[in-house]
Structure 1
């Protein structure tokens, strides 16, 4: 790698949770940053930063013109939804958008791309088995159109790498920390805990990581990653109960003690999406979200630790950062 001071980086998704931390890290490491944003984007996460902002769309055939003059690309942007009615949007943004971004990168002379996939694209092991980058659930077994769209987008990145384009793939698990502006599903768990809206919990489990470590994982992938390879950016496998107990220690608020059988939220979600939503009612529980939560989503990030030097900061510190940020930003009340 050349001196970062002479390097210009193009970032999609810089207004989001992971992207905002990545932009800050790139600036700290003295890269010049140009960020693609949608005209309707909330720019709060980029305010007061020394970033060149350009408005555009992932599917713009002339996107390469906005990338011209940049050496590297971080394609972080993605559309996230677990609602079945958003199927077309998921494929348009995540699959077609990624294909177009990769074509634009090649046309613009981008030397190396880091594509942000997700552990969602890898799938899960049977009966809670911990899996690594060598695992792949079949497309049919991936729950919901979000996971399917991320799998297909990742396939596009791998195909680009197979033809000689420099593309490294990173697969974040569930990041935790500040700047979770939307918020993400993990942020939503923290918020519902803080708002006392979680009297019961599902027996499920996830892999968690400090979002700042995810940002470092992206930069390390640019510097050290192998083109065509994927790297899980994760850290600690925890049950939802263990996460809630950690939140209880941080906040001195009581953690829920009762579990709820999966059939109950499944029935609620089915009624919400299949019956009430078509009648014009706003659904509250996504069916695919409940179906996902029935699976233990545990991952092994040792490849990224070994080959990239991925940091493994304490998850509890990231939880405290998230709690403090949500409270200070007025999300709780």
Structure 2
């Protein structure tokens, strides 16, 4: 029986991964923080172990000696400046720590969940050959994802076998904090506007499967972009509105308006100490065109990128309804 060690297993993508690993017959050991909710992990049959990315000794004790694959999926995805210091510790220092321990423990292969964000913003379609431009610390999440990769590559140079996967905008079940937030905003008629940007939307299940396939098929040190269906946010939000039986937006809101809302929200957050619904970082993301090609992942990993947007969104909605987090009227 193959043995997988997973960080971030209680999260959106991590839950999809563990579900598939267990279905494939893997033994799964899931690392969690003391404060993490572990009910879903238990129900999926994962073995639980408490450790911290900030404490290498705790990870040395937690990671078994017979691990075939270590999936590092834990990430701080905040796009609010109030969380920047913690995000650096989680994404960069934490990645450096677990990569070091993975090399010391001689794990079979480390699969790293990076992000398309590591490439920064481009006018054209992003490929693995594109320059990684995430060098502006004002866009801190992007900034840390590039530096996470740099930190892990230092351990690859010392003998670690690791592969990087760079998903785009992931949609599917088990989501409560990513695009699920758009469902909640539209359901409550609180959407501040439809941004004029574009994105590549990928299915959570297909992204999880690519992680598993990368264990055998990926090449050490390589990046694999996991893209999917390209769509404007007007189309994306419109489909969500249809699924919720809400009025379908017909027009986008100018970028400067969304950025202005984000700026005022950010000023207020400095006084309140609470993260606003839209931040300047989020405003930049949703008013740009961020589309990518997954041709390399399709060719080398067998990645299934052609999942219809309707299929992804219906899966997300149906799971939220099943969990009583959303009610369709």
Q: Name the SS for the 1:155 alignment partner.
A: helix
1:245 equivalent in structure 2: 238
Q: Residues 32 and 237 from structure 1, CA distance in 2 versus in 1: closer, same or farther, beyond 3 angstroms? A: same
After the TM superposition, which of the residue ranges 197-206 and 300-309 deviates more from structure 2?
A: 197-206
CA distance in 1, matches of 2:163, 2:247: 42
Q: What are the Cα deviations for residues 285-306 of structure 1, in whole angstroms up to 9, with x where unaligned?
A: 2111112222111010111011
Q: Over aligned residues, Cα RMSD in angstroms?
A: 1.8
Which of 4, 13, 29 pairs up with 2:8? 13
Q: Give yes or no for contact 1:33–1:52 (8 Å, CA) kept in 2.
A: yes
Aligned counterparts, 1:1-333, within 5 A: 5=1, 7-62=2-57, 63-69=59-65, 70-126=67-123, 129-141=124-136, 144-181=139-176, 183-184=177-178, 186-198=179-191, 200-274=193-267, 276-280=268-272, 282-284=274-276, 285-312=278-305, 313-332=307-326
Q: Give yes or no for contact 1:162–1:228 (8 Å, CA) kept in 2.
A: no
Per-residue deviation at 1:260? 1.4
Q: Residues 241 and 133 from structure 1, CA distance in 2 versus in 1: closer, same or farther, beyond 3 angstroms? A: same
Q: Name the SS for the 1:139 alignment partner.
A: coil
Q: Give yes or no for contact 1:113–1:166 (8 Å, CA) kept in 2.
A: yes
Q: Give yes or no for contact 2:118–2:133 (8 Å, CA) kept in 1.
A: no
Q: Report the TM-score, using the length of structure 2 for normalisation.
A: 0.93
Would you say how many aligned residue pairs link Structure 1 and Structure 2?
Answer: 323
Q: Name the SS for the 1:217 alignment partner.
A: helix
Q: Give yes or no for contact 2:201–2:230 (8 Å, CA) kept in 1.
A: yes
Q: Residues 280 and 196 from structure 1, CA distance in 2 versus in 1: closer, same or farther, beyond 3 angstroms? A: closer
CA distance in 2, matches of 1:20, 1:82: 22
Q: Give yes or no for contact 1:36–1:53 (8 Å, CA) kept in 2.
A: yes
After the TM superposition, which of the residue ranges 212-221 and 243-252 deviates more from structure 2?
A: 243-252
CA distance in 2, matches of 1:47, 1:205: 37
Q: Which runs of 5+ in 1 are unaligned?
A: none
Q: Report the TM-score, using the length of structure 1 for normalisation.
A: 0.91
Q: Name the SS for the 1:258 alignment partner.
A: coil
Q: Give yes or no for contact 2:73–2:113 (8 Å, CA) kept in 1.
A: yes
Per-residue deviation at 1:249? 4.5
Q: Give yes or no for contact 1:68–1:109 (8 Å, CA) kept in 2.
A: no
